Structure 1
């Protein structure tokens, strides 16, 4: 009987836990979007949920439409130039703009490859992701080819460490970035999709052959 109850309890958790986390994330996003109501005078704010989300979407679309024409681009360029003269704002805005361009550009890829590197010490391996080409100046200073990688923390992959690793010390994983991220987020519990690994393995083996 105890074993049956335990099995039922675990089965229920597997249903409700992902659902609860999903609802919490959605609620968090909706609450953030609802803050756009603060742009309206108190007397004009409608008293029903969800209007802030709609207002945020309208604001984003309207700003995008304005920035897409000549006058809007000139105004945006002037505003960014003005922000560039404010020390702290310049650093934060510039970094976030580049991050947004990387994430939302159709031609850009935030993570290029899933990798294995020896981290945090030589006796262990960690999953990492190649983010960009390492500046030549840095490689010239150390006298070897480097790979710029991001090592995410688990289960929250939005934080982590940026490392420059010698190319000969990097192993290209035979799995897509999405599968490697799923492995990190799930604390290693969710195994990668075998079919995706098979389709991706030829490219990874070629990369490892070049490394060797």
Structure 2
């Protein structure tokens, strides 16, 4: 019986070491797996269309991961460069005019273009702010990403009622890739200082990973805020 605590202690140390190693290795392994999966996916789409004389794999006789991804990035960058000048812009406008005359395709194209322009625009503030709203019942709060002020008919309808509404995206936990689009009164949103990246970590971890928070400096002369410790 005397050596039982030692055995338990040894087992506890082994368990703690395993958990520590898991915390270190799991995120690294998943990150590497996702990265190479994305590279392989890009290669499978682009590499077959690369002319043989421009494909490094033809000369080295081995598969080079990332070739298709690099070529795709170069082509996209060149298209963006050409699209800024007069000739390139004319070609883009001609192509868009054809798509805009094609039933069904024009709806998909316009929707996707508007989404990408909104998300990738430098001056856009969409999804760059985080807040809290009461959901699903009063007194219960949910984390949301601020999308934009309500626009168009939605804004006009609420303006008739004297409400200034904001569109927010409410993602679920632990996979915040789908969710709900909600229109919330601006004065009902509690804005947070955390970044969208920190908010995503909080959501994915189910509240286990909470970002550090440094309270703002109190106004001069204001009494310090104290938090009672549990007994």
Asked if 1:64 is matched to 2:74, the reply is no
- C-alpha distance in 1, partners of 2:68/2:48? 9
TM normalised by structure 2 equals 0.75
Corresponding residue for residue 134 of structure 2:
118
TM normalised by structure 1 equals 0.81
Asked if 1:145 is matched to 2:168, the reply is no
Corresponding residue for residue 8 of structure 1:
17
- Does the Cα contact within 8 Å between 1:117 and 1:128 map onto a contact in 2? yes
Quickly say closer, same or farther: Cα 1:113–1:51, change in 2 above 3 A.
Answer: closer
- Does the Cα contact within 8 Å between 1:153 and 1:159 map onto a contact in 2? yes
Quickly say closer, same or farther: Cα 1:69–1:178, change in 2 above 3 A.
Answer: same
Larger Rg: 2
Superposed CA RMSD in Å reads 2.6
- C-alpha distance in 1, partners of 2:103/2:171? 29
Where structure 2 has 5 or more consecutive residues not aligned to the other structure, the ranges are 1-9, 220-231
Spell out the pairing of 1:78-117 with structure 2 (5 A cutoff): 78-117=94-133
Corresponding residue for residue 159 of structure 1:
178
Quickly say closer, same or farther: Cα 1:17–1:132, change in 2 above 3 A.
Answer: same
- C-alpha distance in 1, partners of 2:21/2:123? 42
- C-alpha distance in 2, partners of 1:61/1:140? 39
Aligned counterpart for 2:201 among listed residues 154, 157, 182: 182
- Structure 1 segments, 4+ long, off by >6 Å, are none
Partner-residue secondary structure (3-state), 2:145: strand
- C-alpha distance in 1, partners of 2:120/2:189? 28
- C-alpha distance in 1, partners of 2:70/2:150? 41
Where structure 1 has 5 or more consecutive residues not aligned to the other structure, the ranges are 203-212
Question: Shift of the alpha carbon at 1:129?
Answer: 1.5
Matched length: 200
Question: Shift of the alpha carbon at 1:79?
Answer: 0.8
